[in-house]
Amino acid sequence: MATLADFSPEVRAEVKLVREQVATLHEQLLKWNLVVWTAGNVSQRLHSADLMVIKPSGVRYEYLTPASMVVTDLEGNPVDGAEAPSSDTASHAYIYRNMPDVYGVVHTHSTYATAWAATGQNIPCGLTMMGDEFGGPVPVGPFRLIGSEAIGEGVVETLKRYPNSPAVLMQNHGPFTIGEDAESAVKAAAMTEEVAHTMWAARQLGGIIEIDQSDIDKLNDRYQNVYGQH
């Protein structure tokens, strides 16, 4: 089994940086009320090697440090770290192996997004910001048991059908989000909870007015290619 000492100084330097980034991003999950106690996790894939950094299993967020982050290969085998990696590690690894442009994955149990997941419903696209961020509804993925790569398989197969969405609501479980790095995936998790809450509130007021797909496509194209600093 490989250890971190077997890798080049370049790889070890990136591991140090990514550990710091991933540890800090877990604080954002608390800040945006996306997790409770030890639930949820953030991971980031390295560019210099087929490795990823992920939260240790069952450790409270207040106790997380860069040193406590676990390094694994893309099969989920530990490479460095004193703790066991997250119980979702195999699913994160599966996503990275099968979505080569993805370098960040986040899982939360945020209240409103998880409520939609518990009912097996897509979050309908009734907001221009959803067109911007998700390119349509936030889709529901299949029910899968925790502890293997089965959840990762469900995430990948769902997002292949919704290629503009960085989020999927795994039925009876909760949201998984992806991004070009872990920060992007954390942003997607925060935005998923925001639209889940708003669309839930809209449904209490009456029927949601869904946006036509042609207009969604225009919104998404503008947001991805024109909005912000490029």
pLDDT digits (tens, 9 = 90+) for 85-115: 999 999 999 999 999 999 999 999 999 999 9
Report whether pLDDT(183) > 80. yes
Cβ(196)–Cβ(138) under 8 Å? yes
Q: What is the rounded average pLDDT for all residues in the chain? A: 96
164 close to 220: Cβ distance less than 8 angstroms? yes
pLDDT digits (tens, 9 = 90+) for 208-230: 999 999 999 999 999 988 866 54
Measured CA to CA, the distance from residue 141 to residue 74 in angstroms comes to: 22
Write the CB contacts of 122 (distance below 8 Å, at least 6 apart in sequence).
116, 137, 138, 139, 140, 169
Q: For the whole prediction, is pTM greater than 0.75?
A: yes
Residue for token pair 């986040």: 106
Write out pLDDT tens, residues 57-87: 999 999 999 999 999 999 999 999 999 999 9
Do the beta carbons of residue 144 and residue 170 sit within 8 Å?
A: yes
Q: Give the tens place of pLDDT for each residue, 2-22.
A: 899 999 999 999 999 999 999
SS3 content of the chain, % helix, strand, coil (to 5): 45, 15, 40
Identify the structural domains of the chain with CATH numbers, from first to last.
4-224 (3.40.225.10)
Is 93:156 a contact under the CB 8 Å cutoff?
no
Pairing, β 70-73 against β 51-54: antiparallel
